[in-house]
Amino acid sequence: MALKRIMPCLLYDGVGLVKTVKFKNPSYIGDPINAIKIYNEKEVDELILIDINASKQKRKPNFDKIADMASEAFMPFAYGGGVKTFDDFATLYKIGIEKVVVNALIQENPEVIKKVVAHYGAQAVVACIDFKKPLFGAKAPYSYIGHKIKQDLSEYARYLANDLGVGELMLYSVDNDGTWEGFDNEIIKRLIHEVEVPVIACGGCGNIDHLKTVLYDVNANAAAIGSMAVYSKKGMGVLINFPSRESVIKE
């Protein structure tokens, strides 16, 4: 059985780490550098850091702070938030970021993404699809400002993988975010069959069984965990946490 990747997905508000529930009500978690040091000790596979306010506040990445974080990380480090130009990508790669996660830029200027893929390779770019159930109709992809994207989920996933040429898709369930109720396995399984690039499941993980199901039954290539990586248990205090590799391998 092939090993699957498991990674903390840390949300950053420009000051410190936060955790949201359904993308709302961010709660302060702590300092990102301290968290990264602990994840080094726990030998996590990869680390994702998303600045959730950068695009909304129309500010560029804080390259100095990101460089400090990257210098502490002993694992592959992905960053997303506020990345707008080819030079932004180039700077992030130069300071130690292996992968850049794009979301808002897909709607704003997809040609920049194509240029980055052509120059640095598909493996250097991850496209994040935020999806949720609207009041009426099927689950759909949404932009960072809450607007429904015109394509349906399958069309959008194919567009990102085939037309933009990104190396991975990160499927982030807004409805499941911070709920501890499990991944949206139905959507993840469907989209895995739509694309030939690796898929990262994100949003809702609450226990080891959720990880085993999404990685081995649904067959996602990787799982990103939020609440489970920063809280001891649901409703309990902050405790930078990570499951052991042995506990997640499915026999």
Average pLDDT, the chain: 92
Domains of the chain (ranges; CATH) run: 5-248 (3.20.20.70)
User: What integer pLDDT is reported at residue 100 of this predicted model?
Assistant: 98
User: What integer pLDDT is reported at residue 248 of this predicted model?
Assistant: 83
Torsion of CA 91, 93, 99, 105, to 10 degrees: 20
Report residue 232's pLDDT band, with 50, 70 and 90 as the boundaries.
low
**Contact between 166 and 134 (Cβ < 8 Å):** no
What is the tens place of the pLDDT at every residue in 142-164?
Answer: 987 778 999 999 999 999 999 99
Please state, in angstroms and rounded to a whole number, the distance separating the CA atoms of residues 244 and 251.
15
What is the tens place of the pLDDT at every residue in 27-77?
Answer: 999 999 999 999 999 889 899 999 999 988 889 999 999 999 999 999 999
What is the tens place of the pLDDT at every residue in 202-214?
Answer: 999 999 999 999 9
Catalytic (active-site) positions? 130
Average pLDDT over residues 84-99: 98
Q: How many residues does the chain have?
A: 251
User: What integer pLDDT is reported at residue 243 of this predicted model?
Assistant: 79
Return the structure tokens found at 151.
């394509």
User: What integer pLDDT is reported at residue 56 of this predicted model?
Assistant: 86
User: What integer pLDDT is reported at residue 174 of this predicted model?
Assistant: 96
The Cβ of residue 132 has, within 10 Å, a number of other Cβ atoms equal to: 20
Reduced to 3 states (helix: H, G, I; strand: E, B; else coil), residue 80 is strand
Between 246 and 168, the higher pLDDT residue: 168
User: What integer pLDDT is reported at residue 182 of this predicted model?
Assistant: 97
Q: What is the pTM of this model?
A: 0.94
DSSP code of residue 147 = P
**Contact between 97 and 77 (Cβ < 8 Å):** yes
What is the tens place of the pLDDT at every residue in 173-200?
Answer: 999 999 999 999 999 999 999 999 999 9
User: What integer pLDDT is reported at residue 235 of this predicted model?
Assistant: 59
